[in-house]
Amino acid sequence: MDLSTLLLFIPACFALNLAPGPNNLLSISNATRYGFRAACVAGLGRLLAFAGMIGLAASGLAVVLHASETLFYAIKVAGAVYLFWLAWQLWRAGPGEEGAAATGDGGFVRLARQEFLVAAGNPKAILIFTAFLPQFVDPGRPMMPQFALLGLLFLVFELVAIAIYAAIGTRLRQWFARPRGRLVFNRACAGLLSGAAVGLLLARRGSAS
């Protein structure tokens, strides 16, 4: 790929990675409750979901999602319901439940699964890939290597964004060290996740950007 194209792609892509959203909010919440390492490991679930979406976009299968309003609606309703469920779990979580919840492989797998399902339940994410990545692909050159490079860069920057939001959550963990503070933070995150769920329900296919 041309260097000039990559120089345009990198800042635009990183800005997209850093944009607030349900997954980045989840990274903050996980870091605050379980620590930096747990939040970063959990983020691997999100990367797996995004890698699958990039593959779908590259293969052209995402056109089906563009064309099917029923499929789009079904995915976004399922995603919104899952966000509401996570918000309910956070709202009910006691301030002392964080300690052992993410200890061991089982806890990390559970958190990674949450990240995966939140990402997979947002149909706008794959529409973003089908609208964003092709802008930097030269149709006069082989398509798949270009998609592979752009997709890999996106995932690398997404990993950096996960670490940044996890670091923010770690700092917030110090501020909300007392049980009362952790309870307030959990419920604030629950409210934000609920708001994200409502936003997902109101999303339209044409508004993806």
pLDDT tens by residue, 14-58? 988 888 888 898 999 899 888 899 999 999 999 999 998 888 877
- Using alpha carbons, list the distances in angstroms from residue 166 to 33, 34, 123, 147, 204: 11, 10, 24, 28, 30
Say yes or no to pLDDT of 137 above 70. Answer: yes
pTM score: 0.74
**68-111: per-residue pLDDT in tens?**
666 667 766 776 777 787 777 767 765 555 554 555 556 888 89
Mean pLDDT across the chain, nearest whole number?
78
Structure tokens at 52: 């699958």
Q: Return the percentage of the chain with pLDDT > 90, whole number.
A: 19
Spacing of C-alpha 198 from chain mean position: 16
Identify the top-confidence range among 34-38, 65-69, 170-174: 34-38
Which residues, other chains included, contact 8 with Cβ-Cβ below 8 Å and sequence gap of 6+? 136
